[in-house]
Amino acid sequence: MTAIEIELGERLRKLRSDRRLSLRDLATHSGLTASFISQVERGRASPSITSLARLAETFGVSVGQFFGPAP
């Protein structure tokens, strides 16, 4: 796990939590699997740009929201 993967996972989990979505809800809305999203949140998988774009679109944020200075 890299620091980037861990930070990205934390930001993803916070977005999901803030919107009160379960892993299954986010999976349904994004077209990704709950297992994959869980792995990303735990820093155990690196999402592709396409997966990040799907997640960002689901949350109504830019892909950049997952990187850079904390919001």
Q: What pLDDT score was predicted for residue 71?
A: 54
19-41 pLDDT, tens per residue?
999 999 999 999 999 999 999 99
DSSP state of 14: H
φ and ψ at 38, to 5 degrees?
-60, -45
Tallying the residues shown for the chain, one arrives at 71
Residue 70 has pLDDT above 70, yes or no: no
* Cα 70 → chain centroid: 15
Compute the distance between CA of residue 44 and CA of residue 1 in angstroms, rounded to an integer: 6
Residue 9 has pLDDT above 80, yes or no: yes
CA-based Rg of the chain, rounded to a whole angstrom? 11
The mean per-residue pLDDT over the stretch 48-53 comes to 96
